[in-house]
Chain A
Amino acid sequence: MKRIGKIALGLVLAIWTLMPVYNMFLIALDDDAAEYSGHIWPSDWYWESFRVIWRQDYWYLEHFWHQFGNSCFMGFMTMGLTVAIGSMASFALDRMRMRHGWALGNAAMLTYALPSSFLAIPFVHIMHRYGLSDSLWSVIAAQTMFAAPYAILIFQHYGRLIPLELDDAARVDGASPGQMYWHIYVPLMAPALVAVGTYALLLAWNEYLYQFLLLSSTDSMTVAVALDQFFDSDEAPWNYMMSTAIVYSLPPIATYYALRRYMVAGLTMGGVKG
């Protein structure tokens, strides 16, 4: 009886998870671009739209691979910078036992009181002042900024699992803090670094508002912004849009599934006290 209940719940979860994903393919594989057809099963298996994306054969998709590259650059740069900046700060705050280190961690967390979208208006103005409007770097800076407090939180809690005696021993052997960071802290923190990196990548890939407000030229535009352009037209080919959306989803999904086994270990937040 219990087993049947578990299987039933499993089925419900699978359907719940897959329904929107299935719908994406349903639209992408439909050969009638203009309207949704009311099918619940793909009647045509029309793979042509993926070929159109590959060859950039439609005018909304003229610069698709360039935009795709921009998205990747933005996502992976955010990932790397968040991990680097966050882990260096956590190392100084916690491992080097800096006085009032918590105050700085708290100041970081306090920034979450002002959600990122709320900061978008002044942020856009300031990027104009910095001369960074229409630059991918302004978006990377924003994403890194919003991933960093969470990164520091996870690093600080995960770092507590690594005995300080290791640092003391290294110090006795004459290691500099830089060597301690690179040879002790980074390797032992690997699960947390990977988990936070994945988190930052997905955060950047999920984000739309900053890219929409900051990136306008063909040169700097990302796929996220390009996708929304389909809505500017009255008879946009929705099958092309959905195929684009599917291709756009692949890098974060691939990264997540490649690094998946680190996630649970890295996200414990110190979890529960034994």
Chain B
Amino acid sequence: MGRALVREWPPAWRPRGSERAWIAAFLIPYVAVFVAFMAYPVAFGLWMGRSPALYAELVRDPKFLPTVLNTLIYTGVGVNVTMFGAILLSGYFMDRSRWIKALLVLFMLPWALPAIPAFLAWHWMLVGHWGFMNSLLDKVFGIEGPIWFNDYWLALGSNIVATIWKWMPFWTLIFLAGRMAIPQDIYDAADVDGAVGVSRFAYVTFPLLGNLYLICTLLSTLWLVGDFTTVFFVSGGAPARTTEVLATYGTHLAFDSGDPPLGSAAMLSILPLLIPLAILLIRRLRSREVQL
């Protein structure tokens, strides 16, 4: 793999006659789909959740604040453990011996496995007295396992662990690609300076991958905050709908309780947190152009 050199990109120019038509032709599919299936629904969603009374109603719902807290714990722990684990594991997979290459192929399986079967498997693994996990604990170690979904922290933890299992491979692959783009001479120079092991990671690898790490963390945060599938299939909100996150809670309000505006409001309530993250992400993506 070649190294990823970011070249000086020439400035934009004013297109001439026929080029302008071509640009329009290339952009129209995206813009049309964007307006019809993104901009309009977003605007409609904001319009649905426009009334302040909805937010007052939400705050009065005793389920709302715990749900926000769950979402923050789920996303915060899930993203950070995934990312830190992924960047460490990407170093492990840099080893090009044959069996580690083979292991990488296997390790990517959770990413290629669709979410629903994967999370159903997690659910059945942990459910009740005789899920696979408890049978294993019992038969191999002679321990009686807990009823995982009867305990708030165990259920929330199960959701988080399942998410990490599913998404860590993808980010490991991204960081692996990033590490492969680091020129070997930088490491050679670091070797001369005696940077090995932890200090090599802390002073060479991590600073070089810092921007990528931040971008990936932001992206995965934005993706995970709205995650519906994991919680819906793994814990299903158990025990007694205490581990729900905003995505499942809002959907529940909108479609089971038949109150779409309230459901929209529930989901929009976290927007003040997400917009700064999205802006930071865009700035980091742009800054790569000027920064060395």
Contacts and interface: CB of A to CB of B under 8 A. Distances in A.
Interface stretch (B52-60, B127-135, B187-195): B127-135
Contacts of A6: 92, 95, 100
A4 interface: no
A101 to B, nearest CB: 6
A272 B175 CA distance: 10
A256 B165 contact: no
B106 A18 contact: yes
Given A112-B223, A118-B267, A10 B255 contact: no
Given A113-B222, A202-B112, A270 B6 contact: yes
Given A13-B103, A145-B33, A120 B251 contact: yes
A72 interface: no
Given A36-B128, A119-B41, A273 B103 contact: no
A24 to B, nearest CB: 5
B37 A260 contact: no
A17 B102 CA distance: 13
Interface residues of B, number: 118
Nearest to B111: A202
Given A121-B263, A141-B33, A177 B19 contact: yes
Contacts of A170: none
B42 A114 contact: yes
Interface in B125-177: 125, 127-132, 135-136, 138-140, 165, 173-174, 176-177
A73 B34 CA distance: 21
Given A96-B23, A205-B114, A267-B173, A125 B44 contact: yes
A271 B212 contact: yes
A121 B264 contact: yes
Interface string A7-39: 001100110111111111011000000011111
A120 B45 CA distance: 9
Contacts of A130: 36
B226 interface: yes
A265 interface: yes
Given A98-B12, A113-B277, A274-B5, A241 B120 contact: yes
B251 A40 contact: no
A18 B3 CA distance: 33
A143 B93 CA distance: 31
A263 B169 CA distance: 12
Contact of B124 (A10, A23, A85, A125): A23
B71 to A, nearest CB: 10
B201 interface: no
Interface in A84-131: 84-86, 88-89, 91-94, 96-102, 104, 106-123, 125-126, 130
Given A21-B109, A209-B251, A125 B286 contact: no
Given A92-B26, A115-B247, A208-B229, A14 B106 contact: yes
Interface stretch (B62-70, B76-84, B268-276): B268-276
Interface of A: 6, 9-10, 13-14, 16-24, 26-27, 35-40, 84-86, 88-89, 91-94, 96-102, 104, 106-123, 125-126, 130, 141-142, 144-145, 148, 150, 152-153, 160-161, 163-164, 176-178, 181, 202, 205-209, 213, 224, 227-228, 238, 241-242, 245-246, 248-249, 252-253, 256-257, 260, 263-265, 267-274
The 6 A-B pairs of least Cβ separation, nearest first, read A115-B226, A245-B117, A113-B278, A92-B26, A271-B181, A122-B45
29 contacts: A10-B100, A20-B122, A21-B113, A24-B117, A24-B120, A40-B132, A85-B30, A96-B23, A97-B12, A101-B12, A108-B34, A109-B281, A109-B285, A113-B278, A118-B45, A118-B268, A123-B41, A126-B44, A145-B33, A160-B6, A205-B115, A209-B232, A227-B120, A248-B116, A264-B1, A272-B178, A272-B209, A274-B181, A274-B183
